Structure 1
């Protein structure tokens, strides 16, 4: 019996040893084989985003999360627009789109891919994002399609001010929550001639100031070939015109963009414009920001230029993986890193919002809470289906030039707006004739 028992134990030991050396290995191999993913290349195209920025913000995290994917990145350049690439037979899997270019550079190229099925499949939470940004891309799809997910940054309006000029003339700094009436009184105090130098109390990025208005009023009427909401534009023009009626505070003579750059010269006390991580303010300028002023009777909202969006192309052979890649690029972890670098998050997460600029050499010392002092204004209504589209850039340029004529005293408000109305009508008719 003992001998038999010993032989049994020996056999069991051998079986155990074999299992440890062979049986378990086979089981693991089966599991590993099941989890092993075939390597492939995912191509990404983002206009006006340098490869260095993509690598800094996304590549390391993506390669760690998806080791089986090789990420091929391209941006625009000579003969490298998305239309050029598609025309040459190269269609990326992912495209960074935007509302102004969504039609011409995505939908018209037959690349549109609705992401709603993937949101449902992966139970992706869209409430993570500020609702305004999701609503706008859905509205752009016209019939409920979700053609992209919002990617930081977006570009809210703020009021910049030159601290050294305020210190020099003994005027208290502007503060968060002020109205345009209060800023107007400050602008009058800060506009002066000192020696041979003219100091202006106010300037503006006119394009942003008008386009990103707190009423969310469009320039071209969504349902007609004319200026939208004439009376609202009268109110907007009237509010801003008074700043340029202050003696010695006329706008720059060389046009809209010269006026937008005026603050950087150092002789302008305040300027309304966009918070923009890419904005180049001279290092020697001692500046800060406060919340954008509010117009009496208008919603207390922050005018803003919305974000870009990550979109999948309809021709991609890797749509599921592409959606997962988008989800990773928009994760809390990456957006927290973005926020700490000064890149505005598109999420409602307060911790991420409050981390804005913490690691940035400049924004860590600025009043960045001004950026979230008000909620973002809603998007402007889109043109109705079938109405001729006039490029946003064309509309915005015409509007800014119309206001510049008023600011320079070349036309009164009503005359300028009537002229703008006629120009918009002609542009719409021209666009219709091409269809």
Structure 2
């Protein structure tokens, strides 16, 4: 009997002990679960995306951020008058996330003391930078040349393409252009399509000389990376001569400015146009257009000239750097970029699937040859100025360049004189910068 009692007592003790242990484990688990389910502390994340309209941000990112970060109030600003980064610094409302770009990364971000190296967060999150096209990562790293990573590339970037007016080709019974053409083939086609019919002048070719020359197939910079002068005048001579001949075709006169020539195609009397593919480039709905790959120069690499993207950067002053990085990862995810691509927004990812989806859900692009945009890989960026050398704002450089070409195309100057004067103007601008 006693043995039985002892046996029962021992069994009960074991059961109680087991129960207590189980209860302890369950209690710990419940505690962890409660901790995990504990509401996160609400806060406000300020985002400044210079030049991106509020409607675009709302369409691309607002719902995503609301779902993934319900405890966060996202305060978005498109910038503009009274809301520049300098205005925000002056008012003490510095954003956590800033949309930067390479041309203004130094003056509009680093020089303001806002630069934050994202490498530590990349390592912490084991974030794969190889998912991006390496050209875009390499370019922002090369700005400072000491290894820091001050941003991640956000779509879109702006690749060059060749647009054509299908109605004009049908009207004159000429075969449409094709992917993979050379500049010489394009020149022959432009001559065929330039004509006067029924008293109406039809131009065979137009371009936007500013972005065509700046985003050239040699990745040739305007200002020499190592000296205070125009970079490689011989190569600029080649580029000027290649483009000049199109405006020497009778009845294919260039407009008075680079901008106006870039707008000529939209009027319906121009057969061909080189320009960037951009969701911000609006062509009239009645214009029956399509596009093919950008033409190749014989001695240049078979790559597509392009203007690089903007970047999501984090402010050094932010108290929410970790969360800002998580938001940036969400906005640059494969899912978001796939949706962007379907809308016609060129992806910064190396993913072929995302690239192939370009324009698929867009009411206009879905009917166009959008494969032309990815016919060639993006060309590497132009070399940056050597550290310590005085630089000139990119906008100033490209305006001087395009005006020099327009003077040539209008017959006001020969190529050699125009480039010599461009060199002198660049040096004068450098002198101005040094005197500040």
Whether TM exceeds 0.5 here: the answer is: yes
Query: 1:201 and 2:204 equivalent?
Result: yes
2:267 pairs with 1:240: no
1:196-235: per-residue Cα shift (whole Å, max 9, x none)? 2110000001111000001000001112221101000000
Change (3 A) 1:25 1:50: farther
- Structure 2: how far apart are the matches of 1:32 and 1:318? 24
Are 2:318 and 1:316 aligned? yes
Residue in structure 1 matched with residue 373 of structure 2 by the alignment: 371
Q: Distance in 1 between matches of 2:295 and 2:81?
A: 41
Residue in 2 aligned with 1:64? 67
Counterpart residue number, 2:93: 90
Task: Say which of 70, 73, 79 aligns to 2:82.
Answer: 79
Moved more, 184-193 or 379-388: 379-388
- After TM superposition, the structure 1 = structure 2 runs for residues 114-133 of structure 1, keeping only pairs within 5 Å, are 114-133=117-136
> Which residue number corresponds to residue 257 of structure 1?
259
Unaligned runs of 5+ in 2: none
C-alpha distance in 2 between matches for 1:357 and 1:392: 30
Root mean square deviation of aligned Cα:
2.4
Report the Cα offset of residue 319 of structure 1.
1.0
Out of 177, 181, 186, the residue aligned to residue 178 of structure 1 is 181
| Per-residue Cα deviation, 1:105-155 (whole angstroms, up to 9, x for no partner) | 111111001111111111111110111000000001221111100000100
Give 1:35 shift: 5.7
Equivalent residues of 1:141, 1:147 under 8 A apart: no
Equivalent residue for 1:285, pick from 284, 287, 292: 287
Q: Distance in 1 between matches of 2:231 and 2:405?
A: 15
Q: 2:53 aligns with which of 50, 53, 56?
A: 50
Query: CA separation in 2, counterparts of 1:221 and 1:333?
Result: 40
Q: Does residue 151 of the first structure (1) align with residue 154 of the second (2)?
A: yes
Alignment partner, residue 386 of structure 1:
388
Structure 2 matches for 1:94-113, cutoff 5 A?
94-113=97-116
Task: Indicate if the aligned counterparts of 1:153 and 1:308 stay in contact, CA closer than 8 A.
Answer: yes
Q: Distance in 1 between matches of 2:418 and 2:170?
A: 38
Number of corresponding residues: 432
Bigger mean CA deviation after superposition, 54-63 or 156-165 = 54-63
Q: 1:321 deviation in Å?
A: 1.3
Tell me the CA shift for residue 432 of structure 1. 1.4
Shift in Å, 1:90: 1.3
Q: Residue deviations 1:16-40, cap 9 Å, x none?
A: 8xx99x9957742443225633222
Mapped to 2, the partners of 1:375 and 1:401 lie a distance apart of 29
For residues 317-353 of structure 1, give each alpha carbon's deviation from its aligned partner in whole angstroms, at most 9, with x where no partner exists. 1111111111111110111111111111111111111
SS in 2 for 1:261: helix
The correspondence for 2:43, drawn from 7, 28, 40, is 40
Query: Could you say what secondary structure the match of 1:63 adopts?
Result: helix
Residue of structure 1 in register with 2:345 after alignment: 343
Classify the secondary structure of the residue corresponding to 1:161. strand
